[in-house]
Amino acid sequence: MSATMTATPAATATARPLLSIRGVETFYGKIQALKGVDLDVGDGEIVTLIGANGAGKSTLMMTICGNPRARSGQILYRGEDISQLPTHTIMTRQIAQSPEGRRIFGRMTVMENLQMGTTLVGQEHFDDDLRKVFELFPRLKERAGQRGGTLSGGEQQMLAIGRALMSRPKLLLLDEPSLGLAPLIVKQIFEAVRELNRNEGLTVFLVEQNAFHALRLAHRGYVMVNGRITMSGTGRELLAREEVRSAYLEGGHH
Ligand SMILES: Nc1ncnc2c1ncn2[C@@H]1O[C@H](COP(=O)(O)OP(=O)(O)O)[C@@H](O)[C@H]1O
Ligand SMILES: [Mg+2]
């Protein structure tokens, strides 16, 4: 298994930006959570954002989706500033989110949860897309009739990603998919993300406290401290940096 977790080669430097975040500031009341964030996600890239608990990672991901809204700055998606669009409009732009804490529907079955992912795109591709999700996560097929709330943490995470995929995204936003999961399950989930990126060309923005695995998976990464980006580079470069190692890797699970 570990042989398949070697660092992903860097995406071509010419990858055009799918998402460009410029000077974004986000507030909760008077508390400023994002203090001028610049970040790019190229078309076809896996980009990760790492940082300690409370740094502002989830806030950035949610700001991309328009809730909370950026108070200033720009969020350019395919060149269009989406920062002032309503969330439901942003979600029609082929952006899908697997939020922190998974938020699957516990009383609905696995199949019903997956059907919820198709609300915006209709049923036309349902069979094809379902087959792909089941190929990616065979466990979900075995559990298709089971209620979401009865799944293990890892299965719930697979379901959250599967549901996001059913909306046929171009850009997949993943918030802490490894949270609370056993290392073997984390590897399976990250390997699935890598396959989606390689085989389907899916662009991925991955928020993680699990810096080691995230930086090995991602083409490029950013470090966030207290609402600001403090470092960026290829996954490999960041993994090698002393500041990253001492703050995010030493004593971590790897
Ligand atoms: N709904 C909220 N209301 C007020 N403050 C919040 C809210 N959500 C997050 N925060 C604050 O914003 C900061 C960034 O939080 P968050 O984006 O969740 O960080 P991370 O995802 O990196 O752990 C933290 O100081 C947190 O306490
Ligand atoms: Mg978070």
Judge whether residue 152 has pLDDT over 50.
Answer: yes
Question: Which-ligand-closest: CA of 226?
Answer: 1
Ligand 1 pocket mutation pick from 27, 32, 48, 58 by most atoms within 8 angstroms of CB: 58
> What confidence tens digit (pLDDT) does each residue in 168-182 have?
999 999 999 999 999
227 within ligand 1 shell (Cβ under 6 A)? no
> How far apart, in Å, are the Cα atoms of 8 and each of 5, 118, 215, 217, 234?
8, 30, 9, 6, 10
The more confident residue out of 14 and 183 is 183
Architecture (CATH level 2) of domain 1-94+170-181+200-249:
3-Layer(aba) Sandwich (3.40)
The pLDDT mean for the chain works out to 91
Give per-residue pLDDT as tens, 101-129: 888 999 999 999 999 988 888 888 999 99
Ligand 1 atom closest to residue 56's alpha carbon, by position in its atom list = 17
Question: pLDDT value at position 1?
Answer: 38
| Whole-number pLDDT of residue 119 | 81
Question: What separation in Å is there between the alpha carbon of 90 and the centre of ligand 2?
Answer: 21
Model pTM score = 0.92
Q: What pLDDT, on a 0 to 100 scale, did the predictor assign at position 251? A: 56
Q: Which of 31, 48, 206, 209 to mutate to test the pocket of ligand 1 (most atoms within 8 A of CB)?
A: 31
Q: What is the pLDDT of residues 194-205, one digit of tens each?
A: 999 999 999 999
Mean pLDDT (whole number) for 151-163: 96
Taking the CA of 59 as reference, the closest ligand is 1
Return all residues near 215 (Cβ < 8 A) that are at least 6 apart: 48, 50, 221, 235, 236, 238, 239, 244
Supply the pLDDT for residue 241.
94
pLDDT value at position 156? 96
Domain ranges of the chain: 1-94+170-181+200-249, 102-169
Q: At 254, is the pLDDT very low, low, confident or very high (cuts 50, 70, 90)?
A: very low
Q: Give 22's contacts (C-beta < 8 A, 6+ positions apart).
A: 38, 73, 74, 75, 76
Q: How many angstroms separate the alpha carbon of residue 100 from the centre of ligand 2?
A: 6
**Residue 158's pLDDT band (cuts 50, 70, 90):** very high
Residue range 19-55, pLDDT digits in tens: 999 999 999 999 999 999 999 999 999 999 999 999 9
Nearest ligand to the CA atom of 32: 1
